[in-house]
Amino acid sequence: MGKTIIISNRLPIQLQISNGNIDAIPSVGGLATGMKSVHSGNESLWVGWSGLTQEDTPPELEKDIDEALEKNGCAKVNLSAEEVEGFYFGFSNRTIWPLFHYFLEYSEFELDFWNTYREVNRKFADAIIEKSSEDDVIWVHDYQLMLVPQMVREKRPNTSIGFFLHIPFPSYEIFRTLPWREEVLQGLLGSDLIGFHTYDYERHFLSSVRRLLGLEVSFNDIYLDNRVIKVDSFPMGIDYKKFKTAAQDHEQNKNTHKSDLQKRLDSHKASAPDTKLILSIDRLDYSKGIAKRINAFEYFLNKYPEYKEKVRLIILAVPSRSNVPQYQLLKREIDELVGRINGELATVNWTPIWYFYRSLPFENLIDLYTSSDIAWLTPLRDGMNLVAKEYIATRTDKTGVLILSEMAGSAYEMNEALLINPNNFEEQADTLKRAITMPEEEQKSRNTFLQNRLERYNVEVWANEFMNALKQKKEGGDDFISQ
Ligand code: ADP
Ligand code: G6P
């Protein structure tokens, strides 16, 4: 086998140009942060969009941009502003993202979006063909590139192609509403192996293949012409060691080096030692249930007023897809909610919600994870949710309580967390109370199980399991059915 070609819309770094200089900033989101840990510049090449449009790229900087990417083991696919609009903001994030997260009413079925999606997928497929050789292994990622496997297969019939979906695959009843449903399935079926985070997403996909394409499906094998396509679930892990070590270093250096954020967190602790810090971190996305969480927090404070001045909710929302109208509306809704609740409930000594709308450096994420007594993550739908895993990994003394929505893929592996239905305010209020009052011994016992599992099924194991399954498929010779 040759090298691995990773292909995704988002690269691990985003390029920006300011005053004629190229800045590389780390990408946010589970795909980029997870894959970054398994991408090694020597053995794999990562092909994707740099974050700059062709119009934003001065021709004299082209060479420097390529070099900046090359240093990180990456190569770019150039996209024009119009392509980004129709492919990324359009079909990917106004059609597929809402549909696959069960926000059917937000999903827009626009022929122009679809046409651009197809053209841009073709561009990615062409880039793969250009940058890889026959014996390389192609690993395509996520919902932005679902047509790529088949487009590559047409030109490279014998190449090993894997596809991994980082978001949920919805039930057949939802998926069938997509006007281009057959084309999307056929695009994915260009792969040899298709991976999902959970068994449920896998089951939904197989059911759509059977019912919409009428193909023979046996257990998790799909029979198409003379090929067998394998489908399986691979729950993505985190770089456990990186988070654990960062938290240990943070603890060791606490007397010599402190970020401004950590100083603020410490002074809060010193002035109100009994106040519990509740943390939530998400991209600002309607699927994450941020507005509902804020409403549930207000509900909790009304139901259990004795906790006023005894808890503080920290909301870190990372700007995301801000050209999409639903994200702009959500931003406004959250601003208003936080303003209203803080205005109504704050006292001289207490602001109930600290709200940050920005991306933070890794060091500050660790400050927040390690300083918070509770992590409260309430997605209405989430393919996996790595933040839940990262929080647990940083709890070096094993204290801390994780409250997690049962609608997150990670809930399947994190049974020792307090699992909630994010639509049930009564349950959320009671669970918050339970988390606040949970004895340390119980916290430690739950987190011991969670940490052991996260350490074992880390992101490296995840990537190896996927690649081994792809390799076995090739070597096992079950690629072709004898006629
Ligand atoms: P999604 O992929 O939908 O964004 P995940 O929870 O799976 O959700 O992944 C989010 C990733 O983004 C995590 O790895 C997390 O560490 C990272 N991240 C979240 N918030 C920030 C932030 N403010 N700054 C930098 N990275 C962040
Ligand atoms: C999720 C998706 C990724 C995406 C990330 C950030 O994790 O599964 O494909 O990269 O969100 O979103 P963005 O639109 O900024 O790439």
Interval 210-269: pLDDT, tens? 999 999 999 999 999 999 999 999 999 999 999 999 999 999 988 888 999 999 999 988
- Check: CB of residue 236 under 8 Å from CB of residue 30: yes
Residue 481 is predicted with a pLDDT of 55
- Beta pairing partners, 418: 403
pLDDT of residue 257: 87
* pLDDT tens-digit readout, 105-154: 999 999 999 999 999 999 999 999 999 999 999 999 999 999 999 999 99
Residues framing ligand 1 (Cβ under 6 A) = 28-30, 33, 281, 283, 316, 318, 359-360, 365, 384-387, 390
Token pair, residue 414, equals 């994190």
Beta-bridge partners for 121: none
CA distance 418 to 403: 5
Closest residue (by CA) to atom 6 of ligand 2?
29
pLDDT, position 334:
98
Ligand 1 atom showing the smallest separation from residue 387 Cα: 6
Question: Closest ligand 1 atom to the C-alpha of 283?
Answer: 4
Answer for the pair 201, 168: CB distance below 8 angstroms, yes or no. yes
**Ligand 2 touching residue 166 (CB < 6 A):** yes
- Looking at residue 228, its pLDDT comes to 97
Indicate which atom in ligand 2 lies nearest the CA of residue 93.
14
Specify the DSSP element, H or E, that contains 138: strand 137-141
Output the CA 199–ligand 1 centroid distance in Å: 23
- Residue for token digits 């019939």? 157
The pLDDT, as a whole number, for residue 483 is 41
For each successive 10 residues of the chain (483 residues), what is the average pLDDT? 92 91 90 86 88 92 93 95 98 98 98 98 98 95 98 96 98 98 98 98 98 96 96 97 96 88 91 94 98 98 98 97 96 98 96 96 96 98 98 98 98 98 98 98 98 97 95 73 47
Contact 422 CB / ligand 2 (< 6 Å): no
Q: Report the separation in Å between the CA atom of 386 and the middle of ligand 2, taken as the mean of its atom positions.
A: 12
438 CA from centroid of ligand 1 (Å): 27
Alpha helices in 353-458 (DSSP H): 362-371, 386-393, 425-437, 440-456
Query: Among 370, 386, 412, 458, which residue has the most ligand 1 atoms within 8 Å of its CB, making it the best to mutate?
Result: 386
- 169 Cβ contact list (under 8 Å, min separation 6): 100, 175, 196, 201, 202, 204, 205, 208
Whole-prediction pTM value?
0.97
How far is the C-alpha of 113 from the C-alpha of 1, rounded, in Å? 37
pLDDT of residue 19: 85
The ipTM, to two decimals, is 0.98
